[in-house]
């Protein structure tokens, strides 16, 4: 979490990891995996809720929702879960503005909540998200979907759905850009001291 960059839209430099086309294909593949693993198209489908972690997780969750509806015909509610107030590094970093929280009207009690984020790094964001979830209700189960898993976990947390596994060095930045936040899709790796 510490050096995970949610980089600026004008970051042209760096090694390309996923092109715009790759991002769209990856999201489609993850949607298929979610449908399969949660048996969303079965007769007794579980109440699945997608919760994105702002900013780009929210946008990813919305896109996953579209694909899932397209592939399975099932409309799953999507929302946003801001975890700023639950972070464990609040005292070490500059004050940050809070983002939107929007939970589906049906709530998350007894639902299968799938947390959605752009990059999985230390795992601390996800720990904070799990804490936040506990204050909002009691899901029957929680799963995790991430576009990029870059390793370097500091907590016993793993993703259920991974768009792409990328070995990185700690001082590199993985920059995810998504069309509705940054204007275009793409993932690049930048930096690293050498």
**Binding residues for other proteins (CB under 8 A):** 82, 85-86, 90-101, 131, 135-136
- To the nearest whole angstrom, how small is the minimum distance from the Cβ of residue 2 to other proteins? 13
In Å, the largest CA–CA distance within the chain is 55
* Contacts (Cβ under 8 Å, ≥6 apart) of 59: 52, 178, 180, 181
Per the CB < 8 A criterion, the answer to whether 49 and 108 are in contact is yes
- To the nearest whole angstrom, how small is the minimum distance from the Cβ of residue 126 to other proteins? 16
In the complex with other proteins, which residue's Cβ is closer, 116 or 133?
133
In the complex with other proteins, which residue's Cβ is closer, 51 or 188?
51
- To the nearest whole angstrom, how small is the minimum distance from the Cβ of residue 29 to other proteins? 33
In the complex with other proteins, which residue's Cβ is closer, 16 or 100?
100
In the complex with other proteins, which residue's Cβ is closer, 133 or 176?
133
Query: From residue 174, how far is each of 1, 63, 68, 100, 107 by CA, in Å?
Result: 11, 20, 26, 24, 33
Answer positive or negative: Cα dihedral of 32, 164, 119, 13: negative
- To the nearest whole angstrom, how small is the minimum distance from the Cβ of residue 113 to other proteins? 16
């Amino acid at each position: 979490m510490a050096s995970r960059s949610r980089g600026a839209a004008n970051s042209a430099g760096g090694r390309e990891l996923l092109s715009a086309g790759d991002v769209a294909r990856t999201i489609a593949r993850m949607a298929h995996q979610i449908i399969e693993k949660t048996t969303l198209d079965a007769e007794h489908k579980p109440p699945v809720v997608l919760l994105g972690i702002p900013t780009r997780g929210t946008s990813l969750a919305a896109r996953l929702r579209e694909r899932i509806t397209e592939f399975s015909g099932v409309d799953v509610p999507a929302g946003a879960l801001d975890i700023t107030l639950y972070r464990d590094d609040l005292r070490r970093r500059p004050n940050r503005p809070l983002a939107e929280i929007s939970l589906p009207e049906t709530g998350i009690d007894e639902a299968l909540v799938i947390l959605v984020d752009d990059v999985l790094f230390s795992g601390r964001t996800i720990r904070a998200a799990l804490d936040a979830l506990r204050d909002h209700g009691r899901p029957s189960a929680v799963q995790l979907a991430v576009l990029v898993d870059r390793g370097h976990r500091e907590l016993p947390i793993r993703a259920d759905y991974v768009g792409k596994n990328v070995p990185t060095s700690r001082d590199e930045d993985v920059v995810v850009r998504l069309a509705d936040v940054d204007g275009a899709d793409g993932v690049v790796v930048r930096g690293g001291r050498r």
